[in-house]
Amino acid sequence: MTDEFDKALHRALRPQGPREDLAARVVARLDSRSMPPAPQPATRRDFIWRRAFRSRWLPAALAACLIAGVGLVQLRQHALNARANQARAQLLQALSIASHNVNIVRTAVAREEKPDS
């Protein structure tokens, strides 16, 4: 089955020579096209941008800005973590105080309920 498919594919894709009017068609198409507009002279701004990228200071400045941005995000994350740890410590202290007070009250209630022996 694959041999039949290969043969059919070979027949369908066999090389063919160019038609005899190829050169005439190419010349006609080239004549029918309008000339592309002349390139505009480079402006001073274009020159400065090209020079900046060529001199490597602009890519270095962009990399520095990217690094600074990542650093600021990390700094903010660190500050949030510090605040979360502080809130956690305060919560644990409050729970400890509340637990201590509950133990005092429970002991007092237990003494009141227990008859003197």
User: Which tens digit of pLDDT belongs to each residue from 56-110?
Assistant: 777 888 899 999 999 999 999 999 999 999 999 999 999 999 999 999 999 999 8
CA dihedral 5, 8, 11, 12 (to 10 degrees): -100
The model scores a pTM over 0.85: no
User: Helix, strand, coil: what percent of the chain each, to 5?
Assistant: 80, 0, 20
**Domains in the chain: boundaries:** 44-117
Tokens of 26: 């190419």
pLDDT of amino acid 83: 97
